[in-house]
Amino acid sequence: MATLADSFLADLDQLSDNEADAPNEVDLEADIMDEDVDGELADIEALNHDDLDSVSKLQKTQRYSNIMQKVEEALQKVPGISNAETNLEDDPEYQLIVECNALSVDIENEIVIIHNFIRDNYRLKFPELESLVHHPIDYARVVKKIGNETDLTLVDLEGILPSAIIMVVSVTASTTSGKPLPEENFQKTIDACDRALALDEAKKKVLDFVESRMGYIAPNLSAIVGSAVAAKLMGTAGGLSALAKMPACNVQLLGAKKRNLAGFSTATSQLRIGFIEQTEIFQMTPPPLAMRACRLVAAKSTLAARIDSTRGDPTGKSGRDLKEEIQKKIAKWQEPPPAKQPKPLPVPDSEPKKKRGGRRLRKMKERYAITDMRKLANRMQFGVPEESSLGDGLGEGYGMLGQAGNGKLRVSVGQSKLAAKVAKKFKEKSYGSSGATSGLTSSLAFTPVQGIELSNPQAHGSLLGSGTQSTYFSETGRFSKIRKT
């Protein structure tokens, strides 16, 4: 049985064996890394940024040459209307339009690359120019026009830049720290400018061809958004069929770019509008209705693209009808709200109204009728101050109450018929012939002639006929018994 020391020594021997094998693996990995680094360095060395041909390669490709040759031949021919039964995907001009849309995107990217090459080389001569002229084509034209000239008063930039920018460029050039370029770098810069301008001309030819054929390929879509925007929508979506299958909410976003506002608010920035922003309908719409108009144009453009993909209406009448519908809706949105009409009074009813009459109504009117005291309180005498509850005109005013008397509020109020009738009915209930006796009934009754009368309220009605004795207190203080039969 091995001891603890023996097992520890065995572990040390195994560890030493692994360490001996490790350098071989490390050397293998190092060799692989060296090969990768050498390959990357070889690629970097092959990509020489000082050489224009290594930076810009689009014009030397066979694809660029073939497409531009087909475009020039197609521009010389008059576009014809093919058979409506032919599938749109099989049409050679449609295939050429799809290729032109892809090529226009590549040309834009190539112009940006060449612009960076020109800017890096010309920065030694005029470093402030790139901050004054931002457009790549305008920058290339200005660089080619200025060249190595140090005095810009001898250079005519009219027609290339606006007058305000020309003045700023002239003033900045007089104080610039740049120096004239060497002949080799200057020649490379001029060649790059010529190449950028040539690519721009090729892009214009491609767009002219696409716009001229859009009326034939997608007449209804072109009637709504225009040929240029229709070509851009088709190129971004990947063809007319792909555009027809796309929902309207995605068509609205085609061509949208996220704008860098550098920390400013995005509340007023239109981030969800693409190429539809360039349409005539959108430009003529007021800003508060711009988003509604954009959604409407995107929806109708999708319908028009579906019509064109199936060759439903080669004449474009459906597209013109949809555009007219869009314009009517936008005009309807801009109409002011209707003026509020005065409400006429109802026709007076000359016939007497049917009202409830009778004893119950008369009772109600008598119950809620205004009293004479209230009539006097509501009336004021001209030139005579009225009395009030708190004096000096404070509190509740009494009107003409007490004006004719001695200054006291006395008004003779006669008992109404209703009150007399109620009192009579209450008296009948209190002293009636019923056997029930209330606990509030008293044996003392005040009479106007005899004074106070003592009577039995329980036997008042039943014992009168058989002879009942009643005691009366007279005014003289004596009492007498009288038997009634």
Starting at the edge strand found earlier in the chain, the sheet holding 444-447 runs 444-447, 451-454, 468-473, 479-484
Tokens of 247: 């929902």
Q: Give yes or no: residues 63 and 180 share one domain.
A: yes
Q: How far is it, in rounded angstroms, from Cα 118 to Cα 140? A: 7
For residue 359, what pLDDT is reported?
85
CATH at residue 129 = 1.10.287.4070
Cα distances (Å, whole numbers) of residue 217 to 80, 82, 104, 209, 474 = 11, 10, 18, 12, 131
Selection from 450, 443, 459 nearest residue 480 by Cα? 450
DSSP state of 397: B
Confidence bin at 470 (pLDDT 50/70/90): very low
Please check whether residue 297 lies inside any domain of the structure. Answer: yes
Number of helices (H), then strands (E), in the chain: 18, 4
My answer on whether 64 and 206 are in the same domain is yes
Asked if residue 437 belongs to a domain, the reply is no
Annotate 358-396 with b (16+ C-beta within 10 A) or e (fewer): eeeeeeeeeeeeeeeeeebbeeeeeeeebbeeeeeeeee
Q: How far apart are CA 298 and CA 221, in angstroms?
A: 10
Residues 208 and 225 in one domain: no
Look at residues 295, 321, 336 and tell me which one is the last residue of a structural domain: 336
Convert the pLDDT of each residue in 254-282 to its tens digit. Answer: 888 766 555 565 555 555 788 898 899 99
How far apart CA 189 and CA 192 sit, in angstroms, is: 5
Eight-class DSSP state of 101: H
CA angle centred on 415, ends 409 and 417, rounded to 5°: 150
- Asked whether the predicted pLDDT for residue 197 surpasses 70, the reply is yes
Break the chain down into helix, strand, coil percent, rounded to 5: 55, 5, 40
Residues 66 and 136 in one domain: yes
Q: What is the pLDDT of residue 45?
A: 39
Q: Which residue has the higher pLDDT, 128 or 27?
A: 128
Mean pLDDT value across residues 2-27: 52
pLDDT in tens, 158-196: 888 888 888 888 888 888 888 888 888 888 899 999 999
Has residue 159 been placed in a domain? Answer: yes
When pLDDT is cut at 50, 70 and 90, the band that residue 42 belongs to is: very low
pLDDT in tens, 330-373: 999 999 988 888 888 888 777 777 776 788 888 888 888 888 88
Listed residue (232, 238, 322) closest to 278, CA to CA: 232
- Split into its structural domains, the chain has a count of 2
Q: Does the pLDDT at position 29 exceed 50?
A: no
More confident residue, 75 or 14: 75
480, containing H or E segment: strand 479-484
User: Based on the domain organization, do 195 and 311 belong to the same domain?
Assistant: no
Burial label, 3 (beta-carbon count in 10 A; 0-12, 13-18, 19+): exposed
3-state secondary structure of 151: coil
Per-residue tokens: 266: 């995005």
Confidence at residue 95, expressed as pLDDT on a 0 to 100 scale: 79
CA-closest candidate to residue 379, choices 394, 410, 401:
401
Helix (H/G/I), strand (E/B), else coil: 73: helix
Query: Residue 248: what residue type?
Result: A
The reply to whether 312 falls in a domain is yes
CA angle 298, 97, 80 (to 5 degrees): 100
pLDDT given for residue 131 in this prediction:
87
Q: Is residue 303 very low, low, confident or very high in pLDDT (cuts 50, 70, 90)?
A: very high
Whether 389 contacts 413, CB under 8 Å: no
In a domain, 95, yes or no: yes
Query: Dihedral, CA atoms, 40, 46, 47, 52, nearest 10 degrees?
Result: 180
- Claim to verify: residue 63 and residue 186 sit in the same structural domain: yes
- For residues 110 and 249, state if they share a domain: no
Question: Is pLDDT of 23 > 50?
Answer: no
What is the span of the domain harbouring residue 63? Answer: 56-74+88-217
Of 185, 217, 249, the domain-final residue: 217
Choosing from 305, 336, 367, the residue where a domain stops is 336
Q: Is the same domain home to 235 and 189?
A: no
CATH code of the domain containing 318: 1.10.246.90
Looking at residue 455, its amino acid is S
| Contact between residue 328 and residue 98 where contact means Cβ atoms under 8 Å apart | no
Residues 202 and 238 in one domain: no
User: Do 195 and 248 reside in the same domain of the chain?
Assistant: no
Q: Could you tell me if 150 and 189 lie in one domain?
A: yes
For residue 112, give the amino acid letter: V
pLDDT > 70: what percent of the chain?
68
On whether residue 132 sits in a domain, the answer given is: yes
Of 360, 289, 279, 291, nearest to 319 by C-alpha is 279
Let me know whether 177 and 233 are in one domain.
no
pLDDT digits (tens, 9 = 90+) for 200-236: 999 888 888 888 888 888 899 999 998 888 888 887 8
pTM score > 0.85 for this model? no
Average pLDDT over residues 297-320: 91
Going by C-beta distance under 8 Å and a sequence separation of 6 or more, which residues neighbour residue 430?
438, 441
